[in-house]
Amino acid sequence: MVEYLFKTLVIGDIGVGKTSLIKRYVHHVFGSTYKPTIGVDFALKVINWDSETIIRLQLWDIAGQERFGTMTRVYYRDAVAAFIVFVLDINRNTTFEGVRKWKDDLDSKVMLADGSKIPCFLLANKIDMLEESEIDAKKAQLDDFVAEKEFAGWFPTSAKENKNIDRAASELIRTIIDNE
């Protein structure tokens, strides 16, 4: 039996749903009351990956507020992968401004042992608030953005309706294992 411990980050602007995604993934619950994360929270998900592999996925839930602080370098240390979470705004032409800032912060402060960027997936959360057609209309723009900023991929997610969270986590783990 092989056991891995992977430190991963969940970052993104205030209120986009980072804590809710983690709670849904790890504890299978969702609450609609907003309680801002202060500093950083931790969660651990143990996954029976295959018959001979156990993955201990450590999730660092970093407060959106921390983008304006000085602690992210400390929080990012030794992370092997990340999720950046945001909410699609269909009412204006998305600039992904917050996402860009988080990705640049991440890439400037943490890297793999070989000097390459840590794999990072983009999560467009709260898709339960959008129509299918509204998401479709944004797909090409997201694909371009993900390529430009060197994300490993993106998923439309909902913590409320439990959409694509397990899938995104599995992709993240697969990418980490491929880097081992």
Tokens found for residue 5: 């411990």
* Residue 125 near ligand GTP by CB under 6 A: yes
| Of positions 7, 16, 19, 158, contacts Mg ion by CB under 5 A | 19
Pick between residue 132 and residue 178 the one whose CB is nearest to ligand GTP. 132
Stretch that binds Mg ion, among 30-38, 47-55, 84-92, 152-160 (CB under 5 A): 30-38
Q: Which residue in this structure is represented by tokens 């723009």?
A: 141
Instruction: Assess contact for 152 and 170: CB atoms under 8 A.
Output: no
CA 170 to chain centre: 12
Pick from 9, 73, 60, 53: nearest CA to 180: 53
Residues paired with residue 54 on neighbouring β-strands, in sequence order: 3, 48
Q: Give the shortest CB-115-to-ligand GTP separation in angstroms.
A: 30
* Out of 67, 117, 138, 160, the residue judged to bind ligand GTP by CB under 6 A: 160
Helix, strand and coil in the chain, % to nearest 5:
40, 30, 35
From the list Mg ion, ligand GTP, none, pick the one residue 32 interacts with, judged by a Cβ distance below 5 to 8 Å according to partner type.
ligand GTP
Q: Which of residues 26-55 bind ligand GTP (CB under 6 A)?
A: 31-32, 34, 36-37
Site string for Mg ion, 116-155 (x = CB under 5 A): ----------------------------------------
Between the two ends of the chain, the Cα-to-Cα distance in Å is 16
Q: What is the largest CA-CA distance in the chain?
A: 50
Asked if 37 interacts with Mg ion (CB under 5 A), we say: yes
What is the contact surface with Mg ion in residues (CB under 5 A)? 18-19, 37
